[in-house]
Amino acid sequence: MFAIVLCLLTAALLNAQQYDLVIKGGHVIDPRNNLSRVMDVAVTGNKIAMVAENIPAAQGKRVADAKGLYVTPGLLDIHAHVYAGTGIAKVYTGDRSVYPDGFAFRSGVTTLVDAGTAGHRVFDDFYERVISRAQTRVLALVNIIGGGMGPNNESDPKDIDVDKTIAMVKKYPQVVVGIKTAHYAGPAWEAVDGAVKAAGATNIPVMVDFGQATKERNISTLFMDKLRPGDIYTHCFSGLRGEVVDGKLNPAMEAGRKRGIIFDVGHGGGSFFWPVAVAAYKAKFEPDSISTDLHTGSMNAGMKDMTNVMSKMLNLGSKLDDVIRLSTWNPAKEIKRTELGHLSVGAGADITVLRVEKGNFGFTDSAGARFPGTQRVIAEMTVRDGRVVWDLNGIAAPDWQKFQYRRRGAQ
């Protein structure tokens, strides 16, 4: 009789555990669904099953205590370089890139967009070597230069082939989300014009790292005559192309925004400086999206990671809800992947749990200059495709004294 009762109780408990994971007590910020309050989030399989107040903990096979923390969609970084493993030294199609899984989850990022590291001549290798193997969702912008950011000259107009770039976009429609032009130092507009032509034929945006600006090749002409509404200008706080003039925001920046140009942070190792960012914020010019320009140089310098860049925007004056929007829903819209960046029921279960610490902190720019701040964002837990892949303090882990360890042989 006791055995029967025990079986019935066990069966009842298992039936009650209808969710694989319940994240309880956190402040949910989901900009797409206009949510910003304490709620619980339940996951079944790899989907968001419920977002509601007071989901019983008993209904979760696994429960994460998020009290005092912020629960957001998985962070989406639209400017990174992850074409690693080729063995090529001193270039982004090699040693300067970072393997995505070794870096993304620990900073709360579930989706990385490689920003033009590979052009059409090497994209197949990039896909097979990195994208197809990664647990991180890796999307990509195809560089309009065929060799991408490799050992050959990124300013060579002879390596621009619009038709072959279009063909590569069509070969990988689930992966390619845009065309990139970067570091082009030619005297004319071949790279930008080629990128816009390829993007127009495939209905995707262009991201521009403008390279070297000149009197003729300036951001005003870029925004008003060359790019289209919805195209993305990254490194918007670099100051290297006249974004700020004599300590004040260049009117071309506001004109570009009114025309529909998207302004992305793209911090990087040499593209974020406090005098530029402070002047922009003083003019109430906040970015449209936050991204890192992740590579081995930036991660070990002022940029560090996605949460560090988010912290900088928070300390410059952006509200936390806006910082989350700029790191989730906005970039999802910019790359036309609106299945991402939100916690709607039925959406893929990519979730980030953040801690916002209060204290005295310092944040450095690309020159190594320090800016004081009182808030710092930390990635506490990351869920990718329904699975906990990063848990800094074990908030979803069972107590070791109650854990059923598997029997191991003598060591």
Q: How is residue 9 written in tokens?
A: 């109780």
Mean pLDDT per 10-residue section of the chain, whose length is 411 residues: 45 68 98 98 98 97 98 98 97 98 98 98 98 98 98 92 98 98 91 98 97 89 98 97 97 98 98 98 98 98 98 98 98 98 98 98 98 98 98 97 78 47
Please state the pTM of the whole predicted model.
0.94
Helix, coil or strand: residue 281: helix
Helix, coil or strand: residue 206: strand
Give the residue among 242, 175, 222 at the shortest CA–CA distance from 202: 175
Which contiguous run of DSSP H or E holds residue 64? strand 63-65
Euclidean distance between CA atoms 202 and 177, whole angstroms: 10
Phi/psi of residue 144, nearest 5 degrees: -70, -20
Superfamily (CATH H level) for 78-346: Metal-dependent hydrolases (3.20.20.140)
| Cα distances (Å, whole numbers) of residue 202 to 121, 166, 172, 206, 380 | 18, 7, 12, 11, 38
Q: How is residue 55 written in tokens?
A: 């989901």
Helix, coil or strand: residue 101: helix
Give the amino acid at 107: S
Give the residue among 2, 138, 14, 156 at the shortest CA–CA distance from 81: 138
Phi/psi of residue 369, nearest 5 degrees: -85, 140
Residue with tokens 């906040």: 286
Radius of gyration of the chain, Cα coordinates, nearest whole angstrom: 23
pLDDT tens digits for range 95-149: 999 999 999 999 999 999 999 999 999 999 999 999 999 999 999 999 999 999 9
> CB of 43 within 8 A of CB of 349?
yes
